Amino acid sequence: MVHRGELAGPRLIPVRWVITECVSAEPAEHGTDITVHALSQMSGPRRVLHLMGYHDTITTRWLTDQSCRHAERTAAAIAALFAAPPGPAAGADSAG
């Protein structure tokens, strides 16, 4: 899955980025192992400057933080899908 974004505000060179996300789920002994990999990188003119040697460390740190948060949110959303729904059906087996 690919997510694209751009920082709002007046800038000489716009700051755009792309987050590429790969989600895998594997059966485990007591459930499912979910792995989320997220890679963020600049795109557009900022990427060209980055490749030419101009390193904007503040933006790079921000993009790294964004990709980590995005991966955590995705993993939490997927885990919520696998969670048992609360209600009387969950305790029905123990009632006898």
Residue with the larger pLDDT of the pair 72 and 9: 72
pLDDT of residue 92: 53
For residue 9, pLDDT beyond 60: yes
Domain positions in the chain are 34-81
* Size (the chain), residues: 96
Q: 58, 7 in Cβ contact below 8 A?
A: no
pTM of the model: 0.56
Q: How far is CA 24 from CA 1, 27, 54, 71, 85, in A?
A: 12, 10, 34, 12, 23
Per-chain mean pLDDT for the chain: 75
DSSP secondary structure letter of residue 84: P
pLDDT of residue 96: 45
